Structure 1
Amino acid sequence: MGKFANFVIKYRWMLISLILILTLLFAYSIKNLKINSDFVSYLPESDEAVKLSKYIGNKYGGNLTAIVAIESDDVFKYETLKAIYNLTEKLRYVDGVSYVMSLTNAIDIKGTDEGIEIGKLISEVPTDKQSLRELKKYVLSKDLYKNLVSKDGKVTLIMCRLSDGVDKVKVAREIKKVVDAENLKEKVYFGGLPFQMIDMNEMIIDDLKILTPLVGLVIVIILFLSFKNIRGVVIPFLAVALSVVWTFGTMAILKIPLTIISNTIPVILTAIGSAYGIHIVNKFREDIGILDVKERSKVALSEVGLAVFLAGITTMAGFMSFVFGSYLIMIKEFGIFTSVGVLYALVISLTLLPSILSFLKWEGKTDRVSKKKTNNEFQFKIVKAVSKARYVILILTFVFVLASVIGIFKINREVSILEYFKPQTNVRATEEMLKKNFGGSLPLYILVKGDIQSPEVLKEMKKVEEFLKAMPNVHNPQSIVDIIEEMNYVMGEGKKIPDTREKVSNLMFLVEGEEIFSQLVSPDKDEALIQAMVTYESSTKISKIVEQIEKYFNSANNKGFVEFKQTGMPLIYKHLDDAIIRSQIQSLIFSLIFVFAIMVVLLKSFWGGLIGIVPVSLTIVVIYGFMGYYGIPLDIATVLIAGVSLGMGIDYSIHFMNRLKVELKESDSFEMAISKVLGTTGIAILINVLSVALGFFVLVFASVIPLQRFGIMILLTMFLSGGATLILMPTIILIFKPKFLEKLKAEKIEREVFAEINQK
């Protein structure tokens, strides 16, 4: 590292200038940074649920519905129906909306003397009360409208189907703008995923505005209390501030949007990136006896540069594990750009900070620092106490870890977007209203392949609808079957599917020109859709719904003349749920292997690598056990804990072992060497633990619940891994006295013997 330190100091002006130019470039690019809150896009396009969802979206005019709910004491009042009529007409012309359905334009099937008449339910809003009462009685008696009006007639829906491939948030905002412009007296709710995405976008922006300056303030306070010097605050903080600008600038240039997860990047980089500057500044301050600041900068970079570099690499490995181990695109992007941000923080810390330090005279009292370096009495007492209680510490650790392993099996998973909103939010209130009156707003689609004009196929579709109706959390299944049955009933032949293909074909011909037909049946009549709404429930319940439907289809598809496939948000949520487990296991394995390899290279010992990863590995076990016992679910945020913890927690082991190697060459015993480590690097580790833990703690103020859980878990992780490094690792070393460390002590004895021989 000596040659690199010489290079940095020699070309410091060039490095400072280059970093300034890059910062201006990245800062200018940030204005183009976008936000993506579309949950469907978080799965890869190759996912079967996504592929089928896109297929339906392309062929049937979209696969997502924005729901405008209107609540009144009676929606069948003239004023309310007139408002619904006007809104329906206006929403049809919103760019990106393929289809609008409400009470006023829903299909109506009536019998006449000539046979059958098909038209709109309300072509003109009645003005007299008697006609309105008759209309209400008629609508509430028909199953065909149960997905548009509540049983008590107090809530009605306007369903806006969004075209496939449009900007869902932009279209939802325009729908909301049109509705708000009407100034309705009735209470209005906005439901469905498109409107939830608006709220998610706003929460992401709000979190960036609040959490970024808050974590910055926390780190500044910690740095000031640690170094008691303005320079000790500004210099380490400069590295993290620039790394955030560089990272967001890079994302903007590459057109990678922020997501519900990647909006935490500023918090993460501020919390962990400050550690690199802390170690460099701390070493610079230790060597205050070196009066030449250029030389002191070189020495500081030379001695801690390698440990800082390896710490940065292992942290990057923790985040890069999400790239190779995650199935979800948003987690892969998070892994990539958090790793890029850590790399930026590392490069800036190893180049810009020493360059700046080489110009500054650190104000401090040399005798005070020297005293701190030489007086290890307190630390030695701690090491003695640990040595005496080493077997007790090891046994207690074993018991604690064993109890945590049991807790791991109690962990639940959660991916439902509704659970990410706080209970008092409008999103939750809207969904509760929709759940109460319509069963929910989560769209379920069943794609039916076969001859849709065949009575046998329609009867199988009817069986599927009946099966869905019997499921507790599936509501209002509808398809072309319901329209055919209603038409057959009006014709006087009973509410059933006609017996012949010819009769079915004739009925379909009558309704084929209606807008709703293209939403339910393909032009060639070889495919059809069954639509239903699913209640927002826990991921476990939604997964069970998907599995039950799939099990039913396995037997139904054996008949040869019809095939059923499900898609929609329940299946997508299940795939997200499955991906969380897959991502967790794969990323954890990758992180462990890479971090272990780094420790083996650093310590040049297989056993040294094992000792190095013990603190953070046991910490992860304890954290997941804690989650199991306290009912904290594994979700899109907490799934990151293992990789993040490994990448950051291993830093403490690296710095500890790197300093221990140095001190063993100058100490008479393990106890003395460890006490020196605790008095120097140990202090930097404690500062690091405090800054990272409290930095992540600001996530408890996040708008999204999973991020709050993530912040709390990382805070606990940092304290546990830091404590394990400073207590458990010395315990293991004092018990087993590893040979690779004994060799370092032997080198000291050899030098002393050689020195005595030379003196004689």
Structure 2
Amino acid sequence: MLRDRLVSLSINHPRWVFVSFLLFAILAAVQIPAIQVDTDPENMLPHDQPDRVYHEEVKARFGMHDMIVVGIVNETHPAGIYNPDSLTTLHQLSEAILSLEGVIRQDQMALNLVDNITQEGLGTIRFNWMMAQPPENQAEADAIREAVERLPLLQNTLVSGDHQAAGIYVPITHKSESYRLSQEIQAIIDTFDSQDRFYMAGLPVAEDTFGVEMFIQMAISAPLAGLMIFVLMWVFFRSFVLITAPMIVAMGTVIITMGLLIGQGYTVHIMSSMIPIFLMPIAVVDSVHILSEFSDRYKPGEKPRQALQEVLGHLFTPMLFTSITSAIGFASLAFTPIPPVQIFGLHVAFGILLAFLLTVTFVPAYIMSLSDKRLAQLKDHSLQEDDNSRLGRALSLTGKLSVKSAKPLLAIFMAVILLSAWGVSQIQINDNPVRWFKSDHSLRVADRVMNSHFSGTYDAFLVFEKNLSQPPHAQLTTELTRILQENQATAEQQLALQEMLSEAENNDFDRFTSDLGALLDQASYLDLDNETLWLDLLDEVERIQVEVKYFLSPEILDYMDRLMQTLQQSEDVGKVNGLPTLVKTVFRELNAGDDTHYRLPDSARGVAQTLLSFQSSHRPDDLWKMVTPDYLSSLLWFQLSSGDNQDVSRVMQQVADYMAEHPLPDGVSAHWAGMSYINVVWQEQMVNGMLNSLMGAFLMVLVMMIVLFRSIKIGLLAMLPLSITILFIYGLIGWIGKDYDMPIAVLSALTLGLSVDFAIHFLERARAIYRATGSWPATVDEVYKGPSRAISRNAIVIAIGFTPLLLAPLVPYITVGFFLATIMAVSALVTIVILPAVIQQIKDKDRLFGGQQEA
């Protein structure tokens, strides 16, 4: 039998247990220096997830890059940012950033790196650098302001509408460079003697900074929590001998589990960084149960072997089942579609089972290695403290109250359950990586300030695509063949066209149509008798050449323009930039230059001519950020002042509503991309996945409880603390207005483990005592002298032990610390107060527990 083998190994060969434990710990520890941290929310989705694949495709198609947004704010000067000193500082900072490694220089945007578009004469425009040199006086600064205000693409993007802030958009080679670059940019800023204030914002820098601070916090929080638990256990038990074993088991469990994760090549995500925090309480709880029972049974002077065998014989099964049920709770996270959550759940499940194995081997081996003197000290610090202690008296009163006032207590808890259910209905699913920092963090401050001035530092892209019924080459061939047939062309003419098509054949459609057009034009001169036919074919080539470049069409541009204007009236949308804005701006300057000509051209040829003029600018490739070179795909760049999922989802719904009322043209589709959209996707998948895994794990735990107790009734009773705790915790989240985010989502797994642990130990001991006494009052009295004390003490130690997390600068750690303590408190309270009250209402206790009838 597994139990007997493990007990025999630990009691008879303690040195082998120590050596094996040490070797595994060392092997795991040497893996930890290879740790790699990853806080990229994109990796919350599998690499082949369709939305993620499309997002990456859009970035490649339009040459989009992750960006750091640097803001310069001046709220004191009458001209705001448009004063010579501020613009000089902006110019110097922008030029300095260009020299940094990892910056994509040609795509950086700032006032010194964009064009001022002006009219050179009717039909001619000029492109001059907006700020080639810093202004020397206020008049020059005012001229820059006037120029920016004439260019909708720049207004409220590069300079805020209130004139108090200017931005530098710094595209970077990879988002993992964000933190390093932000530090180097800050070092440049620190060299300026300026009255301006500087900020850095954007999802990439927030995510990468979180990764750095998470790494630091991971190295601080878990040891601090461990130290706090150690101190509290010493305060309770006053014996280093007693508390050493649980702490070694807990630390060993954490080291081996993290070493395994890192050794397998997994990166440490925000979830896996919390593995030590989740494992610590679970690993400590089982060890304390063994020491508590042993200190009761052991008598000084005797050999500890017999007492250990009795303790492990009594506790092995409930500890095994609590470990398995806790592991099931976390392993169920493997069924979520979020890879970091899967890895987190599976490794915590492994750590829980490892903690059980170490508890039933290392702790007995540790006790066997103690001298008689130390064993006597262990007995002197028995966990079963005097009934006259404060905790003893409180628990004794609680037991009596639970039985005598069962109905009022149950009525109160029913009211709490109803309020909790209402709270659950108020929960909002929402997340935003910037909110992972405390409100006074520099990134949160920057986020508030910059989004109060600018249109928004959060990006989302709406991509329009034209789906052609057939490839352009085939479409052109089909139409030309049709014209030949309509004109009853001769075989010679058909052969001549085939030769032209073969001669002009080229994969690039523009080159193909250009060469074919030249051949047709030449044929119209050489074959004057059939000039009309060749010119008709030439006209068809030119028509299809424009038609397949769909986003040159004024009709689709007008649709996009009307959508942009409608959405910009929404409070949720800061600004929308797109191809229509560029076309209207250039078209205005090609004509009279006044606002009456700020419109779209009447024909596709006019649009093409407008864009051809733009490509004479200093930044011609900016066009391909808005439309692909084949003109079959175009995007709108949404600037949002909030990256919260709720806000982004609301914008998406507004777009959907508009398209429902104004259907897209035939063959045109629209899809979302951008990091703000990706955050919405993984959050929705996480919530649905967590719900499914929680329901599945709940049913599995219920089956485990019925199998363990061999009783449906007791199995259901064991699930009561778990059910109430889950409902209360999520009700509390709704009451306080806390958003349902990633850390909150995984708390259900921890609730499953800890709540069931307390219930199993309480019910197992209650059943054993009832069978021995045959009396429910006697059972209650005895239960509140033993198991209730162990449960209460464990709850207090763990709950208070993780209070250092409340001082962390990262919100997810604070969230976990607070709710972990709440889970411990609620699950312990329900176990020692509500369970006895519910059992009190069951009349046939003899049938419930399988004992004798009450006296």
Match for residue 287 of structure 1 among 291, 297, 308: 297
- How big is the shift at 1:343? 2.4
Match of 2:584 in 1: 485
Answering whether residue 50 of structure 2 is matched by residue 21 of structure 1, we say no
Distance of 1:238 and 1:523 partners within structure 2 = 63
Matches within 5 A, 1:97-496: 97-98=103-104, 99-113=107-121, 115-127=124-136, 130-146=139-155, 147-163=157-173, 166=174, 168-178=175-185, 180-181=187-188, 183-184=191-192, 185=194, 186-289=196-299, 291-324=302-335, 326-360=336-370, 361=372, 362-364=375-377, 383-450=399-466, 451-492=550-591, 494-496=597-599
Name the amino acid aligned to 2:425: F
Name the amino acid aligned to 2:120: T
Matches within 5 A, 1:11-90: 11-72=13-74, 73=77, 74-78=80-84, 80-90=86-96
Matches within 5 A, 1:727-746: 727-737=833-843, 742=848, 744-746=850-852
Distance of 2:239 and 2:847 partners within structure 1 = 37
SS of aligned partner of 1:189: strand
SS of aligned partner of 1:679: coil
Name the amino acid aligned to 1:23: A
Instruction: State the Cα deviation string for residues 305-341 of structure 1 (Å, max 9, x = none).
Output: 22222111111122222222x3433333322222222
- How big is the shift at 1:369? 6.2
Instruction: State the Cα deviation string for residues 337-367 of structure 1 (Å, max 9, x = none).
Output: 2222222222221211211111114124869
Name the amino acid aligned to 1:421: F
- How big is the shift at 1:124? 4.2
CA contact (8 A) 2:69 2:168 kept: yes
SS of aligned partner of 1:550: helix
SS of aligned partner of 1:559: coil
Distance of 1:600 and 1:666 partners within structure 2 = 22
Distance of 2:154 and 2:333 partners within structure 1 = 46
Give the superposed CA RMSD. Answer: 2.9
Answering whether residue 630 of structure 2 is matched by residue 628 of structure 1, we say no
CA contact (8 A) 2:63 2:625 kept: yes
480-489 or 740-749, which moves further after superposition? 740-749
Distance of 2:464 and 2:739 partners within structure 1 = 35
SS of aligned partner of 2:591: coil
Matches within 5 A, 1:699-738: 699-737=805-843
1:370–1:638 distance in 2 versus 1, CA, 3 Å: closer
Name the amino acid aligned to 1:273: A
CA contact (8 A) 2:776 2:854 kept: no
- How big is the shift at 1:577? 4.2
SS of aligned partner of 2:163: coil
Instruction: State the Cα deviation string for residues 277-309 of structure 1 (Å, max 9, x = none).
Output: 101111221121271123333333222122222
Matches within 5 A, 1:571-590: 571-590=677-696
Name the amino acid aligned to 2:21: I
- How big is the shift at 1:368? 9.3
CA contact (8 A) 2:6 2:360 kept: no
Distance of 1:515 and 1:689 partners within structure 2 = 62
CA contact (8 A) 1:312 1:343 kept: yes
Instruction: State the Cα deviation string for residues 213-239 of structure 1 (Å, max 9, x = none).
Output: 321122112221333211111111101
1:522–1:88 distance in 2 versus 1, CA, 3 Å: farther
Distance of 2:443 and 2:677 partners within structure 1 = 21
Match of 1:698 in 2: 804
CA contact (8 A) 1:447 1:529 kept: yes
CA contact (8 A) 1:53 1:63 kept: no
CA contact (8 A) 1:172 1:195 kept: yes
1:49–1:63 distance in 2 versus 1, CA, 3 Å: farther
Flag structure 1 segments of 5+ consecutive residues without an equivalent.
750-760
Question: When the two structures are superposed, what TM-score results if normalisation uses the length of structure 1?
Answer: 0.91
CA contact (8 A) 1:543 1:574 kept: yes
Distance of 2:346 and 2:558 partners within structure 1 = 51
- How big is the shift at 1:380? 7.5
Name the amino acid aligned to 2:763: M
Flag structure 2 segments of 5+ consecutive residues without an equivalent.
467-549
620-629 or 553-562, which moves further after superposition? 553-562
619-628 or 76-85, which moves further after superposition? 76-85
Name the amino acid aligned to 1:267: I
Name the amino acid aligned to 1:681: P
- How big is the shift at 1:645? 0.8
Distance of 1:383 and 1:89 partners within structure 2 = 73
SS of aligned partner of 1:736: coil
Answering whether residue 10 of structure 2 is matched by residue 8 of structure 1, we say yes
- How big is the shift at 1:179? 5.3
Distance of 1:382 and 1:125 partners within structure 2 = 76
Instruction: State the Cα deviation string for residues 533-585 of structure 1 (Å, max 9, x = none).
Output: 11116543332222111232345554215332222244234324423531442
1:211–1:106 distance in 2 versus 1, CA, 3 Å: same
- How big is the shift at 1:445? 0.8
Distance of 1:698 and 1:234 partners within structure 2 = 21
CA contact (8 A) 1:247 1:340 kept: yes
233-242 or 588-597, which moves further after superposition? 588-597
1:700–1:467 distance in 2 versus 1, CA, 3 Å: same
CA contact (8 A) 1:553 1:564 kept: no
Name the amino acid aligned to 2:461: Y
Distance of 1:79 and 1:380 partners within structure 2 = 75
Distance of 1:347 and 1:116 partners within structure 2 = 78
- How big is the shift at 1:598? 1.4
SS of aligned partner of 1:131: helix
- How big is the shift at 1:438? 0.9
520-529 or 646-655, which moves further after superposition? 520-529
Match of 1:609 in 2: 715
Distance of 1:609 and 1:303 partners within structure 2 = 19
Answering whether residue 666 of structure 2 is matched by residue 650 of structure 1, we say no
Distance of 1:663 and 1:481 partners within structure 2 = 80
373-382 or 385-394, which moves further after superposition? 373-382
Match for residue 510 of structure 1 among 610, 613, 620: 613
CA contact (8 A) 1:479 1:531 kept: yes
1:44–1:289 distance in 2 versus 1, CA, 3 Å: same
CA contact (8 A) 1:69 1:189 kept: yes
Instruction: State the Cα deviation string for residues 718-759 of structure 1 (Å, max 9, x = none).
Output: 22211221222222223215668556324999xxxxxxxxxx
Distance of 2:744 and 2:186 partners within structure 1 = 37
82-91 or 483-492, which moves further after superposition? 82-91
Match of 2:770 in 1: 664
Name the amino acid aligned to 2:148: V
Distance of 1:523 and 1:321 partners within structure 2 = 47
Name the amino acid aligned to 1:305: F
438-447 or 96-105, which moves further after superposition? 96-105
Distance of 2:698 and 2:19 partners within structure 1 = 38
